[in-house]
Each structure stands twice: as C-alpha cells, then as structure tokens.
Structure 1
C-alpha cells in the first residue's frame, strides 16, 4: 500500500488539455507549476494573458512590493485580478489550495517566500484535480518562488530573467523541469500580440 501511495506516476490523464501560452511554452491544466527567476512576475503576466476569466493573485500581507496596474496593462488586463493578502505564512498555501479546489478560478497564483515541501505540492495538485472534476473547468496553479526555486513534485518549473538589449526588450526563458519534456532554453522578444519565442543558441541539440 505504501509503495502505491508514493508512486511517481503523474496523475494527469492523457485527455487533459494543456494551456498554450506561446509556442512551446505550454502548461498542463489542473496541475501546479513553479516560476522562478528575476522576471517571474512578467512570465506570470504572460500566462495570465493566455487565460480567460478571473485571476486570483495571492501575496503575503507583509510584502513591501505590489504589482503596478500601469505596468500590468501592457501585458494583461488588471481588472481580471483579485488580490488576496493573507497575514500568516501558512495561509498562503491554504488560500491557493482553496481557490484551486473550488474550480471556479481558471488561474490562481501565489507568491511564496520559499518553495513549499512535497506534501504541500501534492495537496495543491489534488486540489486542482478536484476543481477540474467539479465540472467548472480545469484550474491552473502557479507558485512564484525566489532565486532558483526548487519545489519538489511540481509539474513544471520555469525560470525567466531579463535579457534586454538597447531598444529591444528581451528575456531568457528556461524550462528547467517537466515530467515529460527535457530542459530547454529560449529567447523571448517582441510585445503583446507580437511575441517571438525562439530557441536559444545555448540550448544543446
């Protein structure tokens, strides 16, 4: 029984759709994904722009940084966002879990001070699957973690950092972990509606 419970097989069914954000940037729905790197907020905005409906953005009440709607509007619609600010660290994951379990919010994002452990990640996967089973749609869960991230058991992990050149904004995007795909690097450039995602020349063949 213990062996069966700890199996590493993905819970994702073959028929579950993916959210296509841009080119090869795809995220299986009803699962939890991790975004890290200095441009993680920008990547979260791009993912939000690829979804429809409300977005829950969960951030610690004690944080000194807040999203600027004037900056968000260049990437997505700020009026789709509901901002939640739990006062206790343990309530960050609880709020994300409840949002995913309801199945009523297509995208729920939590900014975390550190990567969660395996037990918490499993609970969030199960919550997203429960939300999908309720028939309201398959919710997508994102956690934004500092540094290089490192949450165990997540479906995918993405890292994004600025790679601007004079007059040409750009970003370096890396898929660091995926259950069924290898790591890969891209260069992201352009602007909303005209994004270009091209494989990095540093990516090994």
Structure 2
C-alpha cells in the first residue's frame, strides 16, 4: 500500500487578476466570458494586467474586436492576434500558448461551447507554465462551458450619457452568483453592487 505524506511546506495561493476589488480571477486557470459585452470584459481584464496579450479569433468573418473601441480598455499595442482557419485549431493554439507561459493572458473567441475534455486540457496547460497565465474563453450567447473555473456575463446597460455595463458572476467554484454595475465616468470605472444581493 502506498502512503502519501502531507507536505509541511506552506501552500502558496494562486496569483489573482483583479480588474476591480470584488472581481478576481485565479491565474493558471480557465475562465469563461459570455454575453453581448464579452469582448469589452476581456479587454477590461487585459487592461488590469501588464505585458502582451494573445488574442485568438477565427479567421472567418465574425464579430471580432474593434481597434477604435479597444483603446478605452487596453493598449492595442500589447495585443498579438492569431487567426486559425479551423475551429479545432483555436483550442490547440490556446493550449500551446498557455503551456508556454509566454504571455500573461490568452483570450480565445470560440464559435461554440467546448467540451469538458478540451477545458480540462486548457486548465492543465495553464497550470503547467512556470508563470501561471490567465486563460479566457469568449463563448456565444449565455455561455455554459463545462468545467471552467468561473463564468462571467457582461451586457451593456447604458443610460443616456452614462456608460455602464451589468457584470454577473454566474459561476465560480468557491463563490456564489453575484452582479455589479460597472460605471464609466471621465475615463474612470467604478464597480458597484447591483440589486438586493449586493
């Protein structure tokens, strides 16, 4: 019988990316962004990090990111774009980029929800890198990818001249669902609780 001894070394907490204090995403893991403002959410998270960002999007025509709209969220000069021609190649590119740890953030726009096996492979790849990168998948509609660390939904909720978005944490391994309103005034963004759960 094999006996595994417990280690006495203190366990280090995984690094966390927090674009705003109540919103935190564990690095070295895969997170899902969905909703009509998922691209803006990914760029908001990219703006909270330093270093290059690899953005993987299908080569065929689609929504994509608007370079002019990108500036308000993150420096476009930090983004590297990859455009695979086949859907399977998007996940392969993401897996290789996460495993290499060459960039702190890898974003992949997916045309459909991935299966559980590819999600597990992406988690393993992100966890294997020396510098744990953050992986974000952008999924259509309301999302629902199995096995992700967390799922976030973002949608515009603008009121007149006041730019705002509703951000919802729909799934997280250790936290309950919750929602916030992200306000933008004079180039600054504030995150405030939305509804009675805040």
Q: TM-score, normalised by structure 1?
A: 0.88
Q: Distance in 1 between matches of 2:187 and 2:61?
A: 32
Q: Distance in 2 between matches of 1:192 and 1:23?
A: 20
- Secondary structure in 2 matching 1:190: strand
Query: Alignment RMSD, CA only?
Result: 1.4
Cα distance 1:164–1:89, how it changes in 2: closer, same or farther (>3 A)?
Answer: same
The residue that corresponds to 1:9 in the other structure is: none
Q: Structure 1, residues 36-75: CA drift from partner, whole Å, max 9, x if none?
A: 0000000001000001111000001012333222211111
Where does the alignment leave 5 or more consecutive residues of structure 2 unmatched?
Answer: 1-10
Aligned mate of 1:165, from 147, 159, 181: 159
* Deviation at residue 16 of structure 1 after TM alignment: 1.1
- Secondary structure in 2 matching 1:52: coil
- In the alignment, structure 1 residue 149 sits paired with structure 2 residue 117: no
The residue that corresponds to 1:81 in the other structure is: 79
Q: Distance in 1 between matches of 2:97 and 2:185?
A: 30
CA contact (8 A) 1:188 1:196 kept: yes
Q: Distance in 2 between matches of 1:202 and 1:56?
A: 37
The residue that corresponds to 1:56 in the other structure is: 54
Aligned mate of 1:127, from 115, 125, 128: 125
CA contact (8 A) 1:75 1:192 kept: no
How many residue pairs were aligned?
188
- In the alignment, structure 1 residue 183 sits paired with structure 2 residue 146: no
User: Stretches of 4+ moved more than 4 A in 1?
Assistant: none
Q: Distance in 2 between matches of 1:69 and 1:112?
A: 19
- Secondary structure in 2 matching 1:16: coil
CA contact (8 A) 1:185 1:202 kept: no
Q: TM-score, normalised by structure 2?
A: 0.91
The residue that corresponds to 1:4 in the other structure is: none
